[in-house]
Each structure stands twice: as C-alpha cells, then as structure tokens.
Amino acid sequence: MAGPQNQPESQPQTGAAPQDLVNVSGDQIRQALAQKQATPDVVAMIAQDLQLSPGEVARLRAGAPLTMTPAQYASIVAGLTQAFARPAKRAEGGATTPAQADGDFCSCNGSPTPTPAPTGHVPAVTSTTTGLTETNAGTTRVDDTVGTGAAQGHVMLRTGVVGINPTRVGSFAISYRGPDSQNAHWLQFIWREVIGVHADNSSHPVAGTLQTTGAFTYELCTSGNATTVGTPGVNNYNTDSADASNPFYEAAGRNTRTADATTIYDQPVANKPKMEEAVAAGATRVVSRAHFNTFLIQNDHVTYAVQTNVEWSLTADQISAMGGDINANPGTQTAGTSGAATALPALMAQRLHQQYPAFNFIS
C-alpha cells in the first residue's frame, strides 16, 4: 500500500509528538489485509501488537484509519513480515507482483523501514559430498555466468560424462560454482514420451503412468510424434527427486558438493518396458524421449534454467538386445534453451506445489 497519510485521523495509544506519528489510512489497511488474505486471528494479532482497545479493534476490522507511534508501526511491520514472509511472486516476463515483494506489510515511503524477510527457507549446506570420480569430462554444452558483481557465479552443462563411480556411461552433469554455493540447489523436472513407428511410418504414442523413485507418478505425454516433440501438460511433469519430502535433485541423486560448487549427475534410461509395449502394438521402430528442465535455486529464488534432452531411436531388435544394462544405450543427449531465469514455468510450478506443498515458496 502507499505511504502514510499526512494528517492523523485517530490518537495513538501512547504519547508522541505529532511530527513523530505514523498515520495509516483505512484504504491502506483494507488493501493490506486483502492482499494477505488476513483472517480474524491475524486481525487480532495486529490489534494485540498495537495494544488497541476493543472499540479500536472493531474499527480496525471495519478498515478504519489508525495513527500510531513509530515503535508501534515497527512492531506490526516486523510481526507481519515474519508471519507472511515469502519470496516475491513473479509474473510472466519476470515482473514482481505489486505489493507482494518479500512479504512486506506495505511499501511505505516514510520511516521506519520495514524489517526484511528471512533470506531463505532452505537451510544452507555446509558439508561436502564426494565419492564420485570422472574419468572423462564429456562435452561442454552450456558455459555461462549467473548473477553480477561479487555475487556472480558460473553454470555448466556437460553431456557424455564417463566414469562416475559406480561407472556410468553417458551421464550429463550440471554444475554451479561461485559465491554462496552452500545456498545453491538444483530443482529438476522430467517429462517423457514414447512413440511407436509402424511399417507405414505412422506414429503411435504410448500412453501410461510412470512410477518414480520419489513415490510419485506422472503420465507419458502423447501429443508428439516420431519427428515432433509433444507439448506436456501438468500431469506429464514430475519433480525429479528420489526423496519424497525434498524436491531438490541432490537430496537423493548422484552429486558432489565442495566448498564453492555443487554438481548433479543424471543418466536416464530409455524406458525399455514402454518401448516394448510399442513393439507389441506393431511398431518396427520406437522413439523414446526424456526431457529435463533444471533450475538453479539460490536463497529460495530461481536464477538460472538449463534444458537437456535425451532421445533413443531403436529398432525392435535393438530394444530386445538392451537387456537391463543401464549403460547399454545412453541415447543422444542435446542441450535445449538455457539462460538466466526469474521464475518456474507455470505448469512446473504447479506440479512442484502439488508434489511438494511445503516448498510452495519456490515459484
């Protein structure tokens, strides 16, 4: 809401010189409570912080103007900031939604200054994670900076990484190196499609539900064909974590963390069972695709996005010969669009909040 008005409309609860009073209009109060979807309990908390009388509480509920001392004002701002603290909601294009930034009660122009919201909900990781050894660094696909000045870091995507212990052929690796790396995390989403190609070259997408290691399920996307990537809906996405209570990839996925960097490793498989379903339905060749959207989260905020795609195009005989060896066919890995970001795409944010509601402050 706007800054305090110039003229007081009621007397404060404690004495103060007129020039020291902070005046908040009824419109400002109504707007602030509406923006915060304030319940009666919240209104009662405000009243208690301001030491209001029962009559003044009734006026507050009705949106009456209030005049208070700077100390009272600072107390209520601090209390509401703590109660409603959350990251700024960013609209499409990265704009910050008005009057919602960082849980501020209001964006007043006068003194005192509102207390800032906490810097992060996710605890910093100060320990290191080792035990993974690369014998081949693979091919660099993304090599970019994120942030500016003293806060600038470095993001890298590499494909075809070999030698991860235990040995993995064809993993992709995504790294962040820079200041404050202990507050950097990787949030990854996966979606898949499997398309059977029949002898007449017609495409037949396979439908089905996939079970994940994180106790969730997601649906195969069926809107694509053998040559065109499909368009996923919200239920086609999965938050790619093997930890049912923590959405970050490194919570249970292969990773290394040093004092100044964090790296995750992933080696997706071709989804042989679904490819076999396509063959059983008459396909002579099957195209299987796995799509990954990976976001750098720093102090609860999205700062960078990396896209990686893996595709397998195999004949029925090749599918049969794969066996159960994860290294049998690592597929073709390519980099999609990558760059600085300020928010999750809407459908991915929706999926994250469905699967991990405790992390709805990431958006």
pLDDT in tens, the chain (363 residues): 333 333 333 333 444 454 455 566 666 665 555 554 555 555 555 555 555 555 565 666 565 666 666 556 555 555 444 444 433 333 233 333 322 222 222 223 333 333 333 445 888 888 888 778 888 889 999 999 999 999 999 999 999 887 666 666 778 999 999 999 999 999 999 999 999 999 999 999 999 999 987 789 999 999 999 999 999 999 999 999 999 999 999 999 999 999 999 999 998 999 999 999 999 999 999 999 999 999 999 999 999 999 999 999 999 999 998 877 666 788 999 999 999 999 999 999 999 999 999 999 999
Residue 313 falls within a domain, yes or no?
yes
CB atoms closer than 10 angstroms to residue 113: 9
Classified as helix, coil or strand, 162 is: strand
pLDDT at residue 170 in the model:
76
Query: Are 97 and 171 part of one and the same domain?
Result: no
pLDDT at residue 121 in the model:
82
Residue 134 falls within a domain, yes or no?
no
Query: Are 323 and 210 part of one and the same domain?
Result: yes
Query: Are 143 and 99 part of one and the same domain?
Result: no
Query: Are 352 and 302 part of one and the same domain?
Result: yes
Query: Are 256 and 352 part of one and the same domain?
Result: yes
Residue 341 falls within a domain, yes or no?
yes
CB of 242 closer than 8 Å to CB of 213: yes
Residue 121 falls within a domain, yes or no?
no
Residue 23 falls within a domain, yes or no?
yes
Last residue of a domain, one of 80, 103, 126: 103
Place of tokens 């990976």: 294
Q: Helix, strand, coil shares of the chain as percentages rounded to 5?
A: 25, 30, 45
Query: Are 70 and 164 part of one and the same domain?
Result: no
Last residue of a domain, one of 51, 75, 103: 103
Query: Are 160 and 293 part of one and the same domain?
Result: yes
Residue 11 falls within a domain, yes or no?
no
Query: Distance between CA atoms of 240 and 264, rounded to whole angstroms?
Result: 12
CB of 340 closer than 8 Å to CB of 298: no
* 153, β-bridge pairs: 146
Place of tokens 């969730």: 216
Query: Which residues, 6 or more positions from 239, have their beta carbon under 8 angstroms from its beta carbon?
Result: 187, 188, 189, 214, 216, 247, 351, 352, 355, 356
Classified as helix, coil or strand, 251 is: helix
pLDDT at residue 274 in the model:
96
pLDDT at residue 212 in the model:
86
CB atoms closer than 10 angstroms to residue 274: 19
CA dist 123 → 120, 184, 342 (Å): 7, 10, 21
Amino acid in the structure at residue 356: Y
Query: Distance between CA atoms of 132 and 144, rounded to whole angstroms?
Result: 24
Query: Are 58 and 189 part of one and the same domain?
Result: no
Count how many domains the chain has: 2
Widest pairwise Cα distance in the chain: 88
Q: How many CA atoms lie within 13 A of 311 on its CB side?
A: 13
Query: Distance between CA atoms of 77 and 60, rounded to whole angstroms?
Result: 16
pLDDT at residue 162 in the model:
73
CA dist 229 → 223, 225, 226, 283, 291 (Å): 8, 7, 8, 18, 10
Give me the DSSP letters along 170-189: EEEEEEEESTTGGGEEEEEE
pLDDT at residue 132 in the model:
81
Last residue of a domain, one of 44, 77, 103: 103
pLDDT at residue 191 in the model:
98
Query: Are 96 and 244 part of one and the same domain?
Result: no
Query: Are 176 and 97 part of one and the same domain?
Result: no
- Calculate Rg over the CA atoms of the chain: 26
Task: Give me the sheet containing 255-257, strands edge to edge.
Answer: 139-146, 153-162, 169-177, 261-266, 255-257
Query: Are 199 and 348 part of one and the same domain?
Result: yes
CA dist 85 → 67, 104, 200, 301, 360 (Å): 24, 7, 58, 14, 12
CA dist 252 → 129, 302, 326 (Å): 12, 21, 18
Residue 127 falls within a domain, yes or no?
no
Query: Are 229 and 344 part of one and the same domain?
Result: yes
What domain range includes position 143?
139-359
Residue 130 falls within a domain, yes or no?
no
Classified as helix, coil or strand, 28 is: helix
